[in-house]
Chain A
Amino acid sequence: GAGVSQSPSNKVTEKGKDVELRCDPISGHTALYWYRQSLGQGLEFLIYFQGNSAPDKSGLPSDRFSAERTGGSVSTLTIQRTQQEDSAVYLCASSLLTGSSYNEQFFGPGTRLTVL
């Protein structure tokens, strides 16, 4: 079946504009994660959704960042008033959480965001 998909694959925007990044997880996966891969910063966790529980937003770097997950499936990451330091590759991952401790995350191809 299809893996995790993300759109757009590339986004160039001007400083101060808002952007929306989309993630379609694997069907049936209850957990969804957003990560950011910045040059020199490595991969960092942003936010985590699990079923109908309140999301874990502890990784969001500022209140300009927000995310939602509608119907337990598609997720949108929104960055308001973008800054140049927001330039990065934004990765989405999903997993099928069960009672076991095994937790493979399946990653999407990422959205490369460039803020001019």
Chain B
Amino acid sequence: AQRVTQPEKLLSVFKGAPVELKCNYSYSGSPELFWYVQYSRQRLQLLLRHISRESIKGFTADLNKGETSFHLKKPFAQEEDSAMYYCAPSDTGRRALTFGSGTRLQVQP
């Protein structure tokens, strides 16, 4: 069965500190991997996807197939990064997302 693990429910850091939000997945086939973010009182939205190898708002995520991990990183956290972050592999067939339980990132001033 497909499974996504985000081990940290809450991650609290100070502004300017590095951030790493962990994600491990157990999936059949070769899923597409995404990070979605939900800021306070806003909709869930796409942050980045592994196929594009892009950096969005200073965040990057590297897919490690050997470790089946897709950790989200940012070298210097900002207060506006405070939000709920979800790791989400997508089934390449139906393309529905399987969400992790989410990690709440709190960036303190």
Listed in ascending order, the chain A residues whose CB lies under 8 Å from chain B are 3, 31, 33, 35, 42-45, 48, 50, 56, 59, 91, 93, 95, 97, 101-110
Contact at B44–A102, with CB atoms within 8 Å? no
For A97, list chain B residues within 8 Å (CB). 95
A33-B96, A42-B100 given as contacts; is B46 within 8 A of A105 (CB)? Answer: yes
Determine whether B65 belongs to the interface, using a CB cutoff of 8 Å to chain A: no
Q: Take A42-B100, A42-B102, A43-B99 as given contacts and tell me if A56 and B44 are in contact as well, using a CB distance cutoff of 8 Å.
A: no
Whether the Cβ atoms of B95 and A31 lie closer than 8 Å is yes
Inter-chain residue pair count (beta carbon < 8 A): 50
Chain A residue nearest to B4 in the complex (CB): A42
Q: In the complex, how many residues of chain B place their beta carbon closer than 8 angstroms to a beta carbon of chain A?
A: 20
Q: Which residues of A contact B32 (CB under 8 A)?
A: 101, 103
Secondary structure at chain B's binding surface: helix, strand, loop or mixed? loop
**Is B85 part of the contact surface with A, judged by Cβ < 8 Å?**
no
Q: Closest residue to A4 on the B side, CB-wise?
A: B43
Interface string of B95-109 (1 = CB under 8 A from A): 111111110000000
Closest Cβ–Cβ distance, residue A111 to chain B (whole Å):
13
Residues of B within 8 A of A93 (CB): 44
Q: B86 to chain A: which residues have CB within 8 Å?
A: 43
B45 CB-CB contact with A under 8 Å:
yes
A114 CB, nearest partner CB in chain B, Å: 19
Q: In the complex, what residues of A have CB within 8 A of residue B96's CB?
A: 33, 45, 48, 56, 59
Cα separation A91 to B101 with both chains bound (whole Å):
15
Contacts of B44 in A (CB 8 A): 43, 91, 93, 107
Q: Is B94 in contact with chain A by the CB < 8 A criterion?
A: yes
* A80 to B52 CA separation, bound complex (whole angstroms): 42
What distance in Å separates the Cβ of B50 from its nearest Cβ neighbour in chain A? 10
Does B49 have its Cβ within 8 Å of any Cβ on chain A? yes
Contacts A42-B100, A101-B92, A104-B49 given; 14 further ones with Cβ under 8 A?
A: A31-B95, A33-B97, A42-B99, A43-B97, A43-B102, A48-B96, A56-B94, A56-B96, A59-B96, A101-B51, A102-B51, A104-B46, A107-B44, A108-B43
